[in-house]
Amino acid sequence: MSLDVDYDTLIPNNVGLSSDRRVLKALEKWHPGYISWWNDLIPQQFQQSPVYLRTAVSVDPKGWAKFDYVKMPEYRWGVLLAPQVDDRRIPCGEHAGEAAWQEVPGEYRAMLRRLIVIQGDTEPASVEQQRHLGLTAPSLYDMRNLFQVNVEEGRHLWAMVYLLHKYFGADGRDEADDLLRRSSGSEEAPRMLGAFNESTPDWLSFFMFTYFTDRDGKMQLESLAQSGFDPLSRTCRFMLTEEAHHMFVGETGVGRVIERTCEAMKAAGIDDPYDVKRIRDLGVIDLPTIQKKLNLHYTLSLDLFGQEVSTNAANAFNSGIKGRYMESRIADDHRLSDATYPVWTLVDGKLTRQDAPALTAINMRLRDDYTRDAAGGVGRWNKIIEKAGIKFELTLPHEAFHRQIGVFSGRHFGPTGEALSAEAYAAGAKDWLPSKADGDFIQSLMKPCFEPGKYAGWIAPPKVGIDNKPGDFEYVQLHMA
Amino acid sequence: MGEFVKQHVIDPEICIRCHACEAACAIGAIEHDDVNVVVKADVCNECMSCIPVCPTGSIDNWRLVATPYTLADQYGWSELPPATAPATAPEATDATVAALIADAHGGTARAPASASKPTINLYPPSKPIEAVVQGNYRLTAETADSDVRHIVLNFEGRPFPVLEGQSLGVLAPGLDWLRLYSVASPRDGERPGFHNVAITVKRSGACSNYLCDLKKGDRVRIAGPFGATFLTPDDPDARLLMICTGTGAAPFRGFTMRRQRQPKGSGDMMLVFGARTPDALPYFGPLAKVPDNVLRKLFAFSRVAGAPKQYVQDRLMDEAPEIAERLADPRTHIYVCGLRGMEAGVEQAFVSIAESVGLSWEALRETLRAEGRYHVETY
């Protein structure tokens, strides 16, 4: 096992593919389908444009970020695993303390395969959801960030496909093929999770998606990085460093939209953030609409964590397949034989937290970790608003609001968690969630801005360039056919 | 005034708390709360592992401080406190290599603002990479009294990511310590995309004799890359004034080739190059082929029979008005590379040229250094 990436084979890797003929052949057979999926997806003019992308040349952190121009179809998607930790132990569950598995343990084969397939399915899905955004990019900088996110999601698909081919035989190969057969929003073969069949119609949605939904991905990867199945753990650990870039695109993207709105309001002498019409006439997105988008994407992402109380999650933890967020830093027995965890429940129609066996509350705990993590960026966004002297505060809505999965589904709650009648909810919804008219307004701002160093009027430039590049750097050398 | 120490800090305004740095740190020097990510001053060893994994660039901040900021200080920040003294990222993580570079650079230097982020120490001297010699060509005429060679190294597909102006270390068999050589090729290789690396070596000591005698196909142990400040600006509008003697031309070959492969900007390039005789001047032939409107060349020869001795400072003085115009232009980046003896003469020429247009070279040099626009590498 090497830290360095082998570029000898068609598929760059640090897993010794050139001496693993069976897997190499299987992956080479899968490769054309992948390339044609990619080529059909992204508009041709972008496929032929050199994009300033980051590629890992080593999984050692020092070799992790090399920047250069590359045409996306020529991007070397590879199979990269974080370095093996000597004498790694299974961190949790009934096998805690035993040596980590280097091969799939027979009794957990089905469970592992399913987890890998679900994770793998989200990766190409988001590329599909974002496929048209390049055409309306607010700058070459943002276009480059979009494509970086896209190629890395593509690489994450590769990572999961490698595990399927390497460890799951014929079943794994079938599953890998299905990952290319399903398609986001498709009637016949949709992606597996709901949030990944929603479209990403505009750039604010994209930023919200990368902030909130990719953050769910981050939490899932964090728990899989704790897996007792070592190849999965190592794969996810390396993916997490890439996922950090997606968090960055989301957090700074939303922040720049807010910054531009505040700046335009100040310049026009508008103090009232609810003076929506006048603010929109400035060609920027009003803060209440940004709050609505936040409400939507946050709650859709909460649904991705599944049922609050779940035996599947308990089994995955107990068998050592999936850990908790930062498992190694939690000071307990890592088995949860007697522990409890407070879980949302409804008692006489009232929301309350009640202790449940911690083992079955794994999803609830991860969702709480997620909410804490997501709150950090909201705090930063509010600092931008505060600095501009505008009286407005973005908040995460209550977890009960607008939910389709779990204890809150099928009932009506407002953004502060108050139980509502169906009528009251319907009446309030237009103030809480983006309407069609809100979407149309945002869409009307989505005009491309492709001149180096220039930004569309609804978004502020970034504070720092990618790879320390100056403001007018040509992040994408657009191919003019 | 007490002793200043360099402290690694994270810019909380730019950081997005992804904790990728924390995961990359092998010695537990980074931790976080719900708001900030902070660095333990007494644990961080400047190994630079956290730098490339940061998606925002917030990680790459350095402060010179009398007393290091505590973790409590850092947790309380909503923005970085103002810098009281300039500090920059280290040039190498290995103390001996860092000392060699600091000596060559004449103290602390700053990289050009638009330079790409360098990778350093991917292969430390204790864990070198093996390269294969792809070619070894004599650059100076057989009649010249110096034997200078262009040696091309191939890393066989393994990564050795260099920027123009960086150095690599050669570990010659039987020698106790490595020797540093400037990279003479651009970042993407002798030919674009080939990612091989060239060095310029003058036969003068045990290590260079070893290198000069290498044959095609021989294997050689390499450490690096090293160096984080003697770099070329990526801004195509930046103007380059490059002054060198002998093998000091190596980085400038890389700079020039890099420029020629970049989208064209308004920045011009001037090379002032000194050697004893034309046939002792490395790359004389290829240089002569670069058109003057791409690279203006001023040669100084000190041992040509029948001609007066000319040194680089004499050529600078010959073209004083042109040099003065460049000194005053905020887009100009100046590089000096070669034998240590050349520095004094070049300094004198700059003092005199600056004075002629009412500038103080000493003050100007400080500004240029602070802005990452004046770079010296002498040995």
B217 falls within a domain: yes
Q: What is the mean pLDDT of chain B?
A: 89
Please return the burial class of A301, using the count of CB atoms within 10 Å of its CB with bins 0-12, 13-18 and 19+: buried
Question: At B143, is the pLDDT very low, low, confident or very high (cuts 50, 70, 90)?
Answer: confident
Q: Output the domain CATH number for residue B28.
A: 3.30.70.20
Instruction: Tell me if B50 and A468 make a contact (CB, 8 A cut-off).
Output: no
The DSSP letter of residue A273 is T
Q: Is the pLDDT of residue A184 over 50?
A: yes
Q: How far apart are CA A214 and CA A209, in angstroms?
A: 6
Contacting residues of B for A469, CB less than 8 Å apart: 114, 234
Q: For residue B97, which phi and psi values (nearest 5 degrees)?
A: -65, -40
pLDDT of residue B96: 77
Q: In chain B, whose CA is at the least distance from the CA of A377?
A: B16
A8 falls within a domain: no
Same domain for B221 and B146: yes
Instruction: Tell me if B119 and A67 make a contact (CB, 8 A cut-off).
Output: no
B335 falls within a domain: yes
Contacting residues of B for A63, CB less than 8 Å apart: 52, 119, 122, 159, 161
pLDDT digits (tens, 9 = 90+) for A443-477: 999 999 999 999 999 999 998 888 878 788 899 99
Contacting residues of A for B19, CB less than 8 Å apart: 244
At residue B159's C-alpha, the angle toward residues B45 and B57, to 5°, is 45
Contacting residues of A for B57, CB less than 8 Å apart: 464, 468
The DSSP letter of residue A58 is B
Question: At B158, is the pLDDT very low, low, confident or very high (cuts 50, 70, 90)?
Answer: confident
Same domain for B244 and B346: yes
Instruction: Tell me if A373 and B17 make a contact (CB, 8 A cut-off).
Output: yes
Same domain for B342 and B245: yes
Q: How far apart are CA A111 and CA A311, in angstroms?
A: 12
Record the pTM: 0.77
**Which residue range is the domain that position B373 belongs to?**
239-378
Q: How far apart are CA A248 and CA A253, in angstroms?
A: 8
Same domain for B142 and B78: no
Q: Which two tokens stand for residue B348?
A: 């004198």
The C-alpha of B35 sits at a distance from chain A's nearest C-alpha, in angstroms, of: 6
B332 falls within a domain: yes
Same domain for B244 and B191: no
Q: Among residues B22, B164, B190, B377, which one is catalytic?
A: B377
B118 falls within a domain: no
Of the partner residues B14, B78, B188, the one whose CB lies closest to the CB of residue A464: B14
Respond yes or no: is residue B337 known to be catalytic: yes
A316 falls within a domain: yes
Q: Among residues B146, B167, B182, B208, which one is catalytic?
A: B182
Q: Is the pLDDT of residue B156 over 60?
A: yes
pLDDT digits (tens, 9 = 90+) for A7-18: 767 788 888 888
Instruction: Give exposure, A130-153, as e/b (b: 16+ Cβ within 10 Å).
Output: bbebbebbbbbbbbbbbbbbbbbb
Q: How far apart are CA B230 and CA B115, in angstroms?
A: 9
B111 falls within a domain: no
A2 falls within a domain: no
Same domain for B273 and B219: no
B174 falls within a domain: yes
Q: How far apart are CA B375 and CA B255, in angstroms?
A: 13
Q: In chain A, whose CA is at the least distance from the CA of B56?
A: A248
Q: How far apart are CA A271 and CA A268, in angstroms?
A: 9
A232 falls within a domain: yes
Q: Output the domain CATH number for residue B348.
A: 3.40.50.80
Of the partner residues B23, B55, B113, the one whose CB lies closest to the CB of residue A248: B55
Q: Among residues B123, B181, B311, B335, which one is catalytic?
A: B181
Same domain for B243 and B374: yes
Instruction: Tell me if B159 and A248 make a contact (CB, 8 A cut-off).
Output: no
Instruction: Tell me if B57 and A377 make a contact (CB, 8 A cut-off).
Output: no
Instruction: Tell me if B56 and A248 make a contact (CB, 8 A cut-off).
Output: yes
pLDDT of residue A6: 76
Q: How far apart are CA B120 and CA B275, in angstroms?
A: 31
Number of independent structural domains in chain A: 1
Q: Is the pLDDT of residue A190 over 50?
A: yes
pLDDT of residue A313: 94
Q: What is the mean pLDDT of chain A?
A: 93
pLDDT of residue A255: 97
Same domain for B282 and B210: no
Q: Show which residues on chain A lie within 8 Å of chain B, measured between beta carbons.
A: 4-8, 57-58, 60-68, 218, 237, 240-241, 243-245, 247-248, 251-252, 372-373, 375-377, 379, 383, 463-464, 467-470, 473-474, 477
Respond yes or no: is residue B167 known to be catalytic: no
Q: Is the pLDDT of residue A256 over 50?
A: yes
B336 falls within a domain: yes
Q: In chain A, whose CA is at the least distance from the CA of B122?
A: A62
Same domain for B68 and B135: no
The H or E element spanning position A440 is helix A436-445
pLDDT of residue A1: 44
The C-alpha of B141 sits at a distance from chain A's nearest C-alpha, in angstroms, of: 37
Of the partner residues B16, B57, B119, the one whose CB lies closest to the CB of residue A62: B119
3-state secondary structure A179-194: HHHCCCCCCCCCCCCH
The C-alpha of A122 sits at a distance from chain B's nearest C-alpha, in angstroms, of: 20
Contacting residues of A for B187, CB less than 8 Å apart: 68
| pLDDT average, residue stretch A196-208 | 94
Respond yes or no: is residue B374 known to be catalytic: no
Respond yes or no: is residue B18 known to be catalytic: no
A414 falls within a domain: yes
Inter-chain CB pairs, A–B, below 8 Å = 105
Alpha carbon separation from A162 to A159, A169, A185, A397, B66 (Å, rounded)? 5, 11, 25, 39, 51
Work out whether strand B295-301 and strand B269-275 pair parallel, antiparallel, or are unpaired: parallel
pLDDT of residue B305: 87
pLDDT digits (tens, 9 = 90+) for B348-357: 999 999 999 8
A46 falls within a domain: yes
Of the partner residues B57, B159, B161, the one whose CB lies closest to the CB of residue A464: B57
Domain boundary among B199, B226, B253: B226
Among B18, B163, B226, pick the best mutation site for testing chain A contact (most A Cβ within 10 A).
Answer: B18
Least confident residue range of A301-305, B61-65, B74-78: B61-65
Contact assessment for residue B239 and residue B329, using Cβ atoms and an 8 Å cutoff: yes
Question: At A481, is the pLDDT very low, low, confident or very high (cuts 50, 70, 90)?
Answer: low
Same domain for B366 and B313: yes
Q: Output the domain CATH number for residue B142.
A: 2.40.30.10
Q: How far apart are CA B146 and CA A72, in angstroms?
A: 47
Contacting residues of B for A376, CB less than 8 Å apart: 17, 34-35
- Greatest pairwise CA separation for chain B in angstroms: 75
ipTM: 0.77
The C-alpha of B182 sits at a distance from chain A's nearest C-alpha, in angstroms, of: 20
| pLDDT average, residue stretch A76-83 | 88
B312 falls within a domain: yes
Same domain for B279 and B218: no
Q: How far apart are CA B283 and CA B206, in angstroms?
A: 24
Contacting residues of A for B46, CB less than 8 Å apart: none
| pLDDT average, residue stretch B227-241 | 93
Q: Provide the total of helices (H) and of strands (E) in chain A, helices listed first.
A: 14, 4
The C-alpha of B116 sits at a distance from chain A's nearest C-alpha, in angstroms, of: 6
Amino acid at A481: A
Respond yes or no: is residue B379 known to be catalytic: yes
Whether the CA torsion A398, A403, A409, A414 is positive or negative: it is positive
A101 falls within a domain: yes
Instruction: Tell me if A248 and B52 make a contact (CB, 8 A cut-off).
Output: no
Instruction: Tell me if A62 and B120 make a contact (CB, 8 A cut-off).
Output: yes
Domain boundary among B25, B55, B87: B87
Q: Output the domain CATH number for residue A58.
A: 1.10.620.20
**Which residue range is the domain that position A388 belongs to?**
17-468
pLDDT of residue B281: 85
Domain boundary among B226, B252, B267: B226
Contact assessment for residue B82 and residue B148, using Cβ atoms and an 8 Å cutoff: no
Among A10, A60, A62, A380, pick the best mutation site for testing chain B contact (most B Cβ within 10 A).
Answer: A62
Contacting residues of B for A58, CB less than 8 Å apart: 122, 159
Q: Is the pLDDT of residue A157 over 80?
A: yes
Instruction: Tell me if B116 and A240 make a contact (CB, 8 A cut-off).
Output: no
Contacting residues of A for B262, CB less than 8 Å apart: none
Q: Is the pLDDT of residue B2 over 60?
A: no
Identify which has the larger pLDDT, A4 or B360. Answer: B360
Same domain for B162 and B188: yes
Tokens 């050592």, residue?
A320
Q: Which two tokens stand for residue B292?
A: 């003057």
| pLDDT average, residue stretch A286-308 | 96
Question: At A269, is the pLDDT very low, low, confident or very high (cuts 50, 70, 90)?
Answer: very high
Number of independent structural domains in chain B: 3
Of the partner residues B17, B49, B188, the one whose CB lies closest to the CB of residue A62: B49
